[in-house]
């Protein structure tokens, strides 16, 4: 994506002049107009990144009496959430799901009156077989999957007794945090087909079961009350008006100034104030800053003085899945609403989840971590889907390649071995006048909007507590 000029009309002014409703488009953003002067002050805190972590921080800072400026690299707000229009429906190209078990997000949903909807259930489910794939009635297929997946997390009630505090039993979690997901799965000595079911289900979420840690998945399991039904249903409830409407409501409440198309390239902390420079060379000064961009992007920004070793290490290792892709599909198939799970490592689409019937066919979304998959190539995607349902016709696609998004450099959070008990707590602490926020470094629901909100609250509290 080529860099755009830094754009600068006050968000506060725009909101008051136009009204929030007029601003809500496919991505829930508006583009600003006038450029800022070369050195801009007048703000108490600079928030870098307008995802849920950054917007939460800006709102809390405003409530605390400070004047926040939000700098966002993209031409939209939302970060790794992204509401778009597809096949006449609102769809989410990034994070999408909410549940009553998400303590921070649920409170905000109720406060802002955001309504949820639940996807339609699949009519058939495809899982690996000795030769290719086999169709199951959903109750039978998912029932078997639950039986196979549950033992992976045996003992998690002991090592994650309070899931929102992953360090409650650090004596138990510490050794396990060095374990990859595949090492744990292989310890179960599953039959080859059973192993394919488990790695296909969990491996894609981890960005590769040899890459991801056991503890990340086990904490999600514990946060789901150690229950497969809750674990699997956590990705079935989304917002009627999209995440864009939700974050717009939060931003309006923040009464913050927003600059879109303003990627930050340099952050200087001289001990008395912070100076932030954008790609175009525009600079802003404030007493403090909140860095609310994905961990995978940290090393793309020059910090002066440089970040401590723990921060650099985490960014080099990556936290978010670096090749993550999400694709929405308008499908036509005699199979109807079909769910499909691929074997881990198979090229193309990893899994397919249907959401609703349309006048012609149905809507579904899919995930992939295959670097070779082009999210815009309808023919390539159709060929991938036909391994499950040979009659499938892909009428249209819309996807987002998060790994090749320069301002994300990865999709959903999935920590690697050693990151939970290693650098996580260190990077949650301020560095001079800088605080850090983002779902990647949340204690609880990392990888979810809830984790982003949790982290934004913490960062704002650090600034206000100085």
The answer to whether the annotation marks 14 as part of a ligand binding site is no
Statement: residue 93 has pLDDT above 60 = yes
pLDDT of 12 reads 43
Neighbours of 88 (CB within 10 A): 9
Q: Give the three-class secondary structure for 363.
A: strand
Determine the Cα–Cα distance for residues 339 and 136; give it in Å rounded to an integer.
10
DSSP class per residue in 199-236: HHHHHTTTTSTTTSBHHHHHHHHHHTTT-HHHHHHTTS
Statement: residue 3 has pLDDT above 70 = no
| CA torsion through residues 453, 121, 136, 330, sign | negative
Give start-end residues of each CATH 3.90.660.10 domain in the chain.
143-224
- Identify which has the larger pLDDT, 26 or 67: 67
pLDDT of 441 reads 98
Q: Are 250 and 108 in contact (CB under 8 A)?
A: yes
Q: Is 336 left (phi over 0), alpha (psi -120 to 50) or beta?
A: left
Q: Considering the entire predicted model, what is its pTM?
A: 0.92
The helix, strand and coil proportions of the chain, stated in percent and rounded to the nearest 5, come to: 35, 20, 45
pLDDT band at 40 (very low <50, low <70, confident <90, very high): low
Overall size of the chain counted in residues: 466
Determine the Cα–Cα distance for residues 188 and 197; give it in Å rounded to an integer.
13
| CA torsion through residues 272, 277, 281, 286, sign | negative
pLDDT of 308 reads 97
- Identify which has the larger pLDDT, 249 or 11: 249
The answer to whether the annotation marks 274 as part of a ligand binding site is no
The answer to whether the annotation marks 73 as part of a ligand binding site is yes
Average pLDDT over residues 185-210: 95
| Domain 143-224 class in CATH | alpha beta
In tens, the pLDDT along 292-313 reads: 999 999 999 999 999 999 999 9
Give start-end residues of each CATH 3.50.50.60 domain in the chain.
11-80+241-319+413-464
In tens, the pLDDT along 379-396 reads: 999 999 999 999 999 999
- Work out the mean pLDDT of the chain and round it to a whole number: 92
Q: Are 43 and 69 in contact (CB under 8 A)?
A: yes
Reported as type and span, the H/E element at residue 454 is helix 449-464
| Two tokens, residue 251 | 């931003």
Residue found by looking up tokens 């921080």 in the block:
57
The CATH superfamily of 11-80+241-319+413-464 is FAD/NAD(P)-binding domain (3.50.50.60)
């Amino acid at each position: 994506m080529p860099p755009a000029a830094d754009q600068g009309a006050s968000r506060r002014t725009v909101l008051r002049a136009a009204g929030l409703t007029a601003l809500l488009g496919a991505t829930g953003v508006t583009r600003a107009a006038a450029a800022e002067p070369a050195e801009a002050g007048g703000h108490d805190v600079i928030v870098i990144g307008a995802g849920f972590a950054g917007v939460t921080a800006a709102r809390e800072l405003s409530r605390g009496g400070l004047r926040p400026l939000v700098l966002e690299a993209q031409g939209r707000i939302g970060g790794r959430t992204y509401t778009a229009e597809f096949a006449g429906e609102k769809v989410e190209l990034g994070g999408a799901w909410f549940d009553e078990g998400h303590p921070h997000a649920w409170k905000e949903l109720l406060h802002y009156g955001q309504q949820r909807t639940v996807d339609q259930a699949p009519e058939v489910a495809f899982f690996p077989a000795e030769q290719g794939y086999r169709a199951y009635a959903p109750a039978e297929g998912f029932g078997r999957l639950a039986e196979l997946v549950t033992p992976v997390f045996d003992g998690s009630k002991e090592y994650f007794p309070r899931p929102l505090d992953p360090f409650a039993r650090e004596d138990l979690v510490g050794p396990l945090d060095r374990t990859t997901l595949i090492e744990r799965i292989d310890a179960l000595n599953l039959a080859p087909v059973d192993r394919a079911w488990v790695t296909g289900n969990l491996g894609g979420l981890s960005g590769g079961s040899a890459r991801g840690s056991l503890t990340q998945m086990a904490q999600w399991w514990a946060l789901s009350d150690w229950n497969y039904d809750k674990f699997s249903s956590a990705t079935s409830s989304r917002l009627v008006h999209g995440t864009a409407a939700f974050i717009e409501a939060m931003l309006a409440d923040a009464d913050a100034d927003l600059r879109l198309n303003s990627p930050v390239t340099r952050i200087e902390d001289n001990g008395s104030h912070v100076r932030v420079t954008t790609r175009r060379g525009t600079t802003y000064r404030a007493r403090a800053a909140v860095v609310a961009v994905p961990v995978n992007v940290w090393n793309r920004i020059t910090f002066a003085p440089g970040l401590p070793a723990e921060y650099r290490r985490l960014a080099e290792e990556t936290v978010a899945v670096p090749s993550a892709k999400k694709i929405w599909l308008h499908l036509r198939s005699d199979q109807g609403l079909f769910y499909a799970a691929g074997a881990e490592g198979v090229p193309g689409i990893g899994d397919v989840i249907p959401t609703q019937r349309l006048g012609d066919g149905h809507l579904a979304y899919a995930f992939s971590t295959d670097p070779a998959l082009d999210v815009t190539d309808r023919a390539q995607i159709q060929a991938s889907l036909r391994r499950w349902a040979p009659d499938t016709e892909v009428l249209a696609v819309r996807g987002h390649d998060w790994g090749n998004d320069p301002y994300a450099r990865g999709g959903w959070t999935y920590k690697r071995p050693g990151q939970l008990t290693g650098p996580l707590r260190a990077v949650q602490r301020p560095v001079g006048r800088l605080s850090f926020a983002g779902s990647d470094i949340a204690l609880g629901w990392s990888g979810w909007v809830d984790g982003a909100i949790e982290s934004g609250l913490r960062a704002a509290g650090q600034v206000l507590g100085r």
